Amino acid sequence: MKVADLMTRDARACTIHDSLNAAARIMWDHDCGCAPVVDGHGRLAGIVTDRDICMAAYTQGLPLEAIPVERAMSPRVISCARGDDLEAALGLMRTHEIHRIPVADSRGRLVGILSLSDLVNYSGGDSAAPSEAAEIAATISAIRRRRKPAAAASASPNGDAAPARESTKAPKKAPARRRKPSADLR
């Protein structure tokens, strides 16, 4: 089985210059948890997830419209080609513990995305061979494995390790808005 047989072909992408609000809109409108990020030539430049958006809003203390995708995306993109064997894509997903893998052509342009949902839908049907279903189950298990915190100081309250690119500073607070004095107080 090839990646092209299961991938979602009409993957929506945002650009590095779009706001996180635009990326969130793509995820909302298309019921997905990430958006591949492309440069001006349509080549993969990164990937941004719903979690990246939440963490950027929290750590930067700005509205989503004010934060460019480039400041929250992961620039390291693990991708595959549509002609790759499904087993190779599953191996990449397991190794890198990723839920979705963009599919690019030979020039690095986005042509689709392969997600855990695509894999689960396929393995739950009648067309998946038992060995393929076992590989998919192993991939899901590897991805969902709880990670050990890298260091106690960088662990968050829920036990997940904070990614290296996240700030450990408290988010900036928006300036307090001054209220107009009440007419009763004058």
User: Phi and psi for 110 in degrees, rounded to 5?
Assistant: -65, 130
Domain assignment of residue 179, yes or no: no
The C-alpha atoms of residue 185 and residue 148 are separated, in whole angstroms, by: 57
**Sorting pLDDT into bands at 50, 70 and 90, what band is 171?**
very low
Domain assignment of residue 182, yes or no: no
pLDDT digits (tens, 9 = 90+) for 64-93: 999 999 999 999 999 999 999 999 999 999
The torsion region of residue 104 among left (phi > 0), alpha (psi -120 to 50) and beta comes to beta
pLDDT at residue 136 tops 70? yes
**Sorting pLDDT into bands at 50, 70 and 90, what band is 166?**
very low
- 78 with 91: CB under 8 angstroms? no
Domain assignment of residue 138, yes or no: yes
Domain assignment of residue 74, yes or no: yes
Angle between the 130-144 and 86-96 helix axes, to the nearest 10 degrees? 20
Structure tokens at 182: 């009440």
Number of domains making up the chain: 1
Q: Other C-beta atoms within 10 Å of 163: how many? A: 12
CA 61 from centre of chain? 20
Domain assignment of residue 170, yes or no: no
167 vs 141: which has the higher pLDDT:
141
Domain assignment of residue 14, yes or no: yes
pLDDT (mean) for 139-157: 58
- 87 with 33: CB under 8 angstroms? no
Average pLDDT, the chain: 80
22 vs 142: which has the higher pLDDT:
22
pTM for the full predicted model: 0.69
pLDDT confidence of residue 180: 42
The domain that contains 129 carries what CATH number? 3.10.580.10
The C-alpha atoms of residue 64 and residue 145 are separated, in whole angstroms, by: 30
Q: Other C-beta atoms within 10 Å of 8: how many? A: 16
What three-state secondary structure class fits 100? Answer: strand
Q: Which domain holds residue 40?
A: 3-147
Pairing of strands 110-115, 100-104: antiparallel
Domain assignment of residue 171, yes or no: no
Domain assignment of residue 176, yes or no: no
pLDDT digits (tens, 9 = 90+) for 15-68: 999 999 999 999 999 989 999 999 989 899 999 999 999 999 999 999 999 999
